[in-house]
Chains A and B, each alone.
Chain A
Amino acid sequence: MSTTRHHINRQRRRRARDTRPAAVSPESTGRRTRAGDDAVRSPSGSPDGDRTADRKPAVPRTSREPAGAPGARPRRRRPVVLLVLCALTVLLGGFAGWAHAKAEALRDEPARRNTALTDLARTSEIKGRTAEAVDRLFSYDHTDPGALDKAARDLLTGKAVDQHRALLADVRERADAQKAVITTVVTESAVERIDGARARVLVYADQSSVATAGGEAAGGKAAEQDTGVYAGALLAVDVVHREGRWLVSGIDTFGR
């Protein structure tokens, strides 16, 4: 049964091709006609007769079958088209990979990874927190030695704990002997580098030492110490962001 229909279809196709040479590929026409068959086969039982009328409505076939369906000649061109498509895919994919690598490389440049100053909010936050930390960590009041211990517990982490202890041991001893108050105030600071949760800050600080009972300890120098002795301090502080807080993880006094 299908053989007959196909035969008829083929004939019609041949006829159509004669009138419009490069219209429709045999495959697609064949398929469509068959589909048309099923759809059109009406209860009236005369599919072939009606079909021509049904299948060739006012709309011309060329517009119903647009460029998508290649004709007989394009069929041979198909491998070429596919090859071009392949090449295009490879080229585009290659470019995409290359461009992606380029972009990543650019983002990975050390200059960009360092967000000091480019991220102003973070920069000033780090400056502020570091200055507070240094003020607390390097100030000592002989009447309240616990404050320094608390500061150390709150603000230090890692190797900075030992560094701080070593730096302050001497100072504490002398301050206790002289009943002195040592006050450290950061005067200038700048963030050298921010890399994610880590940062390094260069700090200039003033340290003043006031001996409240210098009598026996320092003798003649007591009067001078009462007015306060200032010294400029220089240090670089490594800080790390942990649990919403910036902790000091390293103290560099440049070998002093």
Chain B
Amino acid sequence: MKRAVRALTAHRPRALSSLLVALGLAAGGFAAWAGQDWYAAAHDGTAAYAEQRDRALAAGEQAVLNLNTLDHRDVDQGLDLWESSTTGELHEQLSTGRDEFAEQVREAKTVTTARVLSGAVTELDDRAGRARVLVALRVTVRASDGARTDKDSRMLGELTRTGGRWKLSALGQAPVGGAPTG
């Protein structure tokens, strides 16, 4: 009898502490697992790639939109935006033909605005910093006499990452009529 009582009193703190130790170990194990899970999620290569994809698309859509927006009353600012949205060959082309083009727009007195209908990335080379995008636009041209024309544009764009930013390095309409696309 006495023995049993003693055993009980001796057991209780022990049982309590071993329960606590077990709980502590379980919590520690869970913490370790959750910690490394979190780390893995934060350093997931796929996630970084997905982020680049979305950034490339956002930059591509914005750049294509910029290049289809121009107001004859504010040509210089518009063309500055064109140049800041582009890089490489496309940038060269735009800046060489700039003066001539600005003159044409001022004479035509047109206001061009655009809206992105949809866009998607077809290719993305994260390391090389290159991407291809499809951007569908609805371009509205308002002539000097107030006439409005709407036209859908199927654009193919090529993006290059420079200094951490994605910029358009090539842009063209998707060809129609069996011509090779690329």
Contacts and interface: CB of A to CB of B under 8 A. Distances in A.
B50 A202 contact: no
Nearest to A191: B120
B4 to A, nearest CB: 11
Given A95-B34, A234-B152, A256-B152, A206 B121 contact: no
* B: contact size bracket: 35 or more
Interface string B124-144: 100000000110101000000
Interface in B143-165: 152, 154, 156
Interface of B: 2-3, 6-7, 9-10, 13, 16-17, 20-21, 23-24, 27-28, 30-31, 33-35, 37-38, 40-42, 44, 46-47, 49-51, 53-54, 117-122, 124, 133-134, 136, 138, 152, 154, 156, 174-178, 181
A89 interface: yes
A31 B44 CA distance: 55
Given A30-B6, A118-B50, A192 B20 contact: no
Interface in A204-245: 204, 206, 208, 230-232, 234, 236
Contacts of B53: 111, 116-118
A143 B16 CA distance: 86
A106 B134 CA distance: 28
A112 B50 contact: yes
Which of B54, B138, B154 counts the most chain A CB atoms within 10 A? B154
Contact of A117 (B30, B38, B117, B121): B121
Instruction: Sort chain A's interface into a size bin.
Output: 35 or more
Most chain A CB atoms below 10 A, which of B40, B118, B177: B118
Contacts of B136: 202, 204, 234, 236, 254
Interface in A1-24: 2
Nearest to B152: A234
A101 to B, nearest CB: 9
A100 B38 contact: yes
B120 to A, nearest CB: 4
A71 to B, nearest CB: 15
A27 B152 CA distance: 89
20 contacts: A27-B10, A34-B3, A89-B27, A92-B24, A92-B30, A93-B31, A96-B27, A99-B34, A99-B38, A100-B38, A102-B41, A112-B46, A112-B50, A117-B50, A118-B46, A118-B50, A188-B122, A231-B176, A236-B118, A254-B117
